[in-house]
Amino acid sequence: MKPRFLKLVVLVIWHYLKRNVIWFGLGMIILGIIIIFQSRFNFFYSPNALRIGLIGTFQEHDLPDEVTGLISEGLVEADETGMIKPVLISGWEVNSDATEFKFKLKDNIKWADSSPVKSADLEFAIPNVSVSYPDDKTIQFKLKEAYSPFPSLLTKTLIKKSTSLGTGPYRIKSVEKSRIFITKITLEPIPSWNDKLPNIDVRFYPSEKIAQTGFDLGEVEVLGGVSNTKFDSNLIGTRQKIDYSKIITILYHANDSLVGGKNRSLRQALSFITLPIRSEEIADNPYPKTSWAYDKSAKKYLGNKKEAESALERAKTQMGDNQLKAEIILTATPNLAEVGKKVVQGWKSLGFDAKLRVESGIPQNFQALLITQSIPTDPDQYFLWHATQTKTNLSRFDSKRVDKDLEDGRKIINQDERQEKYFDFQKTLLEEAPATFLYFPKYNLVYLKKKEKQFNQILSLWKF
């Protein structure tokens, strides 16, 4: 009985569809269009929500600043000049040899669960530094060696021990992973901060190409850290700022027979003839112009053909013609290939046999390397230029005077005296020209204009 009944139902449905095939097909097309538009524009998504896409692979212990900055704050922060200012603390004390620092927490600061912030709630993992908590308001750090810029290491946002609670306007609601890496993290606003803040979903993409696809498909409404900001659609907006934590640099290997060693005049010629990238924030120095340690009177390179020719003449008196005719290989990472082409063109215009090589990783051996380097907020660039730092001093630059300036700069507490050391560091480094400093890159954001209201709220929290 049942099989006959089911057969009858199927036959009735079949004949109904045959009679109304046009309407059925039209309905399926409309449904498909609705699904596509919903995927792209999320008409039925909560109006007070924002979906953000970020590029990179992250774990819970190394979430990017775009996420942690919404959850919590650091003990201190750096202003635009690189000066360190209190955030969760009222101030700090340092002993005469810069080996002991004592920080005092502000009164009435609370975690997301409304519990008071106590010093023992905080954890710090800093090599060669011991931490103690004399009382609920005090954190004391003891260093094995003098390091006057130590407060600049404490800008990282703080999370309450054994929890995911911070002091910021958001808390973590859920985390999704693929193996050890986070694929999505959901943040919800804390009502006591601002009940109008949007809920946030952050998706992480392993590459810009995949992230762009996610944005095109409507998975996210905001995409951060992209290189391409040119869109035909007037539905899409862009924002950008200069990222002074990174610098695009050409490094010359000190051990290379052509560009290294004592061939300073040749490196100067290469630096002078290199054209500035006009669409970018020019870097004529290892420090940004906003830094309190920037010396505006230091030597300037980039786009000076007359000085380039003069430096080349000096090089000819020190080097043989055969050596000057040797091939110069500029190795660049893929994202800097176009910049590399412009650099090589400039070198060729001075008569050098220059060629570009693009490699995905950082080669062990190179003549000249075009690379993005991370630089600290504080002017202490010891790890980049001191001769002992063989893992991070990629050019193998070795200067006794630079070493001494960097050593003294991280021991001196008085800022004026530190500035003198860093002025001398710049003067020596730029004269020796172990690198050509090109520009500070931009950090780009693209977003759907219909989400601009929610997006602007997040930008203000990011201090963008």
CATH number reported for the structural domain that contains residue 180 in this entry? 3.40.190.10
Same domain, 274 and 253: yes
Nearest one of 432, 318, 311, 422 to 376, comparing CA atoms: 422
Measured distance CA(198)–CA(195) in Å, rounded? 8
Cα dihedral value 133, 135, 137, 141, nearest 10:
-30
List the chain pLDDT tens, one digit each, 464 residues: 456 666 666 566 666 656 666 666 666 666 666 555 544 444 545 578 999 999 999 998 889 999 999 999 999 999 999 999 999 999 999 999 999 999 999 999 999 989 999 999 999 989 999 999 999 999 999 999 999 999 999 999 999 998 889 999 999 999 999 889 999 999 999 887 777 899 999 999 999 999 999 999 999 999 999 887 777 678 899 999 999 999 999 999 999 999 998 999 999 999 999 999 988 999 999 999 999 999 999 999 999 999 999 999 999 998 877 788 889 999 999 989 999 999 999 999 999 999 999 998 888 889 999 999 999 999 999 999 999 999 999 999 999 999 999 999 999 999 999 999 999 999 999 999 999 999 999 999 999 999 999 999 999 888 88
Could you write out the DSSP letters of every residue in 387-440? Answer: TT-TTT-TT----HHHHHHHHHHTT---HHHHHHHHHHHHHHHHHH-SEEEEEE
- 87, HSE (Cβ side, Cα atoms, 13 Å): 21
Q: Which of 154, 183, 218 is the last residue of a domain?
A: 154
- What pLDDT was estimated at residue 42? 47
CB 425 within 8 A of CB 406: yes
Same domain, 377 and 353: yes
Q: Say if residue 349 is in the same domain as residue 424.
A: yes
Length of the chain: 464
**Residue bearing tokens 């009177």:** 297
Considering the domain architecture, whether residues 295 and 398 belong to the same structural domain is answered as yes
Task: Mark which of 154, 181, 205 sits at the end of a domain.
Answer: 154
- Interhelix angle for 264-273 vs 305-318, to 10°? 160
Q: Does residue 446 contact residue 226 with C-beta atoms inside 8 Å?
A: yes
Measured N-to-C along each axis, helices 21-41 and 2-19 cross at an angle, to the nearest 10 degrees, of 80
CB 170 within 8 A of CB 197: yes
In a domain, 159, yes or no: no
Within this chain, do residues 195 and 262 fall inside the same structural domain, yes or no? no
- 99 and 214 housed in the same domain: no
306 falls within a domain: yes
Does 163 reside within a domain? no
pLDDT at res. 24: 60
The answer to whether residue 108 is domain-embedded is: yes
Q: Based on the fold, state whether residues 202 and 331 are members of the same structural domain.
A: no
CATH of the domain at 119: 3.90.76.10
Residue 340 shares a structural domain with residue 447: no
Structural domain includes residue 44 = no
Tell me how far apart the alpha carbons of residues 190 and 168 are, in angstroms, rounded to a whole number: 8
82 Ramachandran zone, left/alpha/beta (phi>0; psi -120 to 50): left
Eight-class DSSP state of 110: B
Where in the sequence is the domain holding 100, given as residue range(s)?
A: 78-154
Same domain, yes or no: 237 and 266: no
The two structure tokens encoding residue 384: 């980049």
**CA–CA separation, 112 vs 138, rounded Å?**
21
The closest alpha carbon to 274, from 441, 317, 266, 313, belongs to: 266
Residue 18 within a domain: no
Residues 258 and 238 in one domain: no
Does 161 fall in a domain?
Answer: no
CA gap 110, 117 in Å, rounded:
5
The SS3 of residue 306 is helix
Residue 3 lies in a domain: no
DSSP 364: S
Amino acid at 231: F
Decide: 396 and 261 in contact? Cβ < 8 Å: no
Identify whether residues 429 and 449 lie together within a single domain.
Answer: no
Domain stops at, among 99, 123, 154: 154
Positive or negative, the CA dihedral 82, 84, 85, 87 is positive
Residue 379: burial class (beta carbons within 10 Å; 0-12, 13-18, 19+): buried
DSSP annotation string for 177-215: EETTEEEEEEEEE-TTT-TTPPEEEEEEESSHHHHHHHH
Give the Cα separation of 63 and 176 in Å (integer): 13
**Total tally of structural domains belonging to the chain:** 3
CA distance between the termini of the chain: 71
Contact 50, 188 (CB under 8 A): no
Q: Are residues 234 and 265 in the same domain?
A: no
CATH code, 371: 3.10.105.10
pTM here is: 0.84
